[in-house]
Amino acid sequence: MLAILIAAVFAFAALPVLTVVDDDGAPVAGATVRFVAANRSTDVETTGRAGEASPRPGFVATSATVEAPEFARASVVLGGAPVRVVLHRVPAVIGAVRVATGSQSSLHRLPLAASVLDAQALRDTPAATSDALLRDLPGFDRGRSNSAFTNYGQLRVSFAGAGNDRGAVLVDGLPAQDAFGGQVDWAAYPPDNLVRAELLRGAGSALYGSGAVGGVLDLQTRAPQSDARFPGDGALSAGAGGLARSDESLFFRAPLSERVAASLWSSSAWSSYRIAPDGMRSSVDRPARSQSDATQFRVRTTGGAASIEASGLFATDAQDQGRPNYDFGRTLQQGALRYSLAGERTGSSLAAYVRQTNVLNVADQFPQKPGALRYVQHVPAWEDGVFGSWTARAPHLIVDLRADVRGVHGISDQRGGNGALQSLGSGSQTLAGFAVQADARFGRFEALAGARYDDVTFSAGRLVTVSGGKTTVVNAKARDDAAVSPRAALRYDLSPALTLRASSGGGFRAPFLNELVRGFQIGATQFAPNPGLIPERARTDGAGIDLLGGHSRLAFDLTRTVVNDAIGFVTITPTLQQRANVARTRTDGALATYTAALGRCTRARLSGQTQYARVLAGPRATLGKRLPYVPDREATLGLDAQAGPVRYGVDASFIGTAYADDLNTQLLNRVLLIGARVAAPLGAGGTLTLSAENLTDRIYLSSIDRLGPPAALTLRATFPLGMRPARAAGAAACAL
């Protein structure tokens, strides 16, 4: 009898336990687990809140099948040890975003236009940089951006045709644009560290404040596990290939205690090719080289309604731009702390960050004396901010309150080859705002209304120039600007499958300190600052229709954005441009998106966009001219698919003509870029991936003095770290 009891105890202790999680490591509650014994008998259980399930006592399972809504089915073999099953989402036809309203909403049921690239789309892209990856995101205008080899001043964004700098960029909810200059350090956010990209297309200043004229981009990075009880896991990746490219990355997440989890990301990338186009080359040119490194850590508490997260980001990138004394380097250091509290009907968060950046910009005397030192610029900047939000939810109403304050101080120090000062610009800026928004939903109808008050203070502005041995000092007058940005949007469901939407919102963009106090030079052209700039004011109107099919979604949206007191470069002489408020611009655009499930493991994503962005009023020479770097047409095609154990993706992007200057004399040619990626399993749970960029080897300009990357093939091997997930078996499962 005792022996039987002991055997029963050991049998119970050896019961196989399943832990079911999604791609992000979050537990999947409510999944159906069908345990199968050797004699083919079955036991059906449901996963609990922690994603765990066990067969009934005494039932010895040898395999199991796991199913959950929106996920592909997984079949696994069981042994005596616990098994962790990762369920992969079936390709979504109807995406969902949070960035548009502040609350998670289906794209089909939004009163505003928005776009999304989910984890499947991001994983199947061949892009080597994040800005190249985002050309697949409908509404992202800077599709020819090439951050690995782009001049410091050109790392900007435009959304929905609104124009440069008329868009806000967030990463994990914090501002990602340099508060001094407005540039985005894309190298600090490598593609493989991104898990989601959401874009609000249209006015967002009513919720997000200064800069969100044409939209708001929110990127999300890899995070710690949502439950600290899960064992550690991660991946180690190394790749090499075309453009003399190499890249390595490490991601690992693990529990630090019963209530604390952490994650670490670290990566390094290197590439090289000749970037100078015809007419911009010299006898001393050589292949340009680029290197970037990024490390991010996140530590958070788990297991309760309240959570605290601390994070740090350290990034460097450097570009030898293909000539002596023509290079660029940047460092970024950021620390952040976030507290969030989630309740049944209310939620709140408080976040704070500090960031320091430093840019070293070296220019030669091209075209007169290529390779001879023209100047060296040091551009250090310091910024910090605090952001608070509170959300209340009722059955038919969501109310959001937000408040934030940011401070920034920056310096631009330019010296000649002999070390003598040529120019010095510095200043400080404080941006503060408060927003209120209400979102009411009754049956087929939704109405959203909100407004935000912003106050921007510019102080301590100082410009020093040295010319002909004479020093001129200008102490810029301090100024304070304020704005109220309203927004209203409506949605009406004609049927469950057909939705109409309309919106109108105000926009506000204060000039960056970079525009007020910093000048720079590209080639022979000097770009001068202007401390007298005033903020831009804008209005965006939009209307759209959204149609669901059996396994597809089609959306069509029209937008019109008018910007008053628009800031842009005005040509003073053939070699001098200065920032100025050029009075008024207008963009009329139309964008269609289509997503369809072509099979259980195959999804197609298509978009097409046309936009007419031009100057309506301002200097006579610019009237009717198109806005710089805004293409007239764009189109994308994406395919996310799997055949057996092999996963593959195809991306095609058409980027229409654009101009690099306000007079429309510097043409950027249209181009069709095609890429592909194939991933196949290796031993020990690894994956071998072949990525191809610019398959047809198209020659195109990323900016007036830079060529885009030529064709390149990269081979990458990735191996799991920590507890390996059980591999799904059977034709019904797909790893999309």
Residue with tokens 């920056």: 410
> pLDDT > 70: what percent of the chain?
94
Put residue 214 in one of left, alpha, beta given phi > 0 → left and psi -120 to 50 → alpha. Answer: alpha
Strand 32-37 to 42-46 pairing: antiparallel
Taking the CB of residue 477, how many other CB atoms lie within 10 A of it? 10
| Separation CA 125–CA 191 (nearest Å) | 9
Please report the DSSP string for 423-488 in residue order.
EEEEEEEEEEEEEEEEEEEETTEEEEEEEEEEEEEEEEEEEEEEETTEEEEEEPPPEEEEEEEEEE
| Lowest pLDDT segment from 25-34, 127-136, 374-383, 648-657 | 25-34
pLDDT: which is higher, 734 or 180: 180
- Give the tens place of pLDDT for each residue, 613-625: 999 998 888 899 9
**The two three-digit tokens of residue 328, written as one number:** 């660029």
Maximum distance among all Cα pairs of the chain, rounded to whole angstroms: 105
Could you tell me the fold of the domain covering 220-722? Answer: Maltoporin; Chain A (2.40.170)
Number of DSSP helices (H) and strands (E) in the chain, helices first: 5, 45
DSSP 570: E
**For residue 126, what are the β-bridge partners?**
none
**For residue 643, what are the β-bridge partners?**
646
| Lowest pLDDT segment from 224-233, 550-559, 634-643 | 224-233
**For residue 483, what are the β-bridge partners?**
454
Please report the DSSP string for 300-360 in residue order.
EE-SSSEEEEEEEEEEEEEEEEEETTEEEEEEEEEEEEEEEEE-SSEEEEEEEEEEEEEEE
**For residue 577, what are the β-bridge partners?**
527, 571
CATH 2.170.130.10 domain residues, the chain: 96-219
Compute the half-sphere exposure of residue 403: CA atoms within 13 Å on the CB side of its CA. Answer: 2
| Lowest pLDDT segment from 143-147, 222-226, 435-439, 724-728 | 724-728
**For residue 106, what are the β-bridge partners?**
96
- Give the tens place of pLDDT for each residue, 495-537: 999 999 999 999 999 999 999 998 766 656 777 889 999 999 9
Cα-based angle 191, 193, 195 (whole degrees, multiple of 5): 90
Question: Which superfamily, per CATH, for 2-86?
Answer: Carboxypeptidase-like, regulatory domain (2.60.40.1120)
Secondary structure element (H or E) that encloses residue 513, with its range: helix 513-517
- Give the tens place of pLDDT for each residue, 665-680: 999 999 999 999 999 9
CATH assignment, 96-219 = 2.170.130.10
CATH 2.40.170.20 domain residues, the chain: 220-722
CATH 2.60.40.1120 domain residues, the chain: 2-86
Phi and psi at residue 9, to the nearest 5° = -60, -45
State the chain's mean pLDDT as an integer: 90
Coil, helix or strand at residue 621: helix
Q: Check if the beta carbon of residue 556 is closer than 8 Å to that of residue 544.
A: yes
Coil, helix or strand at residue 242: coil
Question: Above 50 in pLDDT, residue 9?
Answer: no
| Separation CA 702–CA 698 (nearest Å) | 12
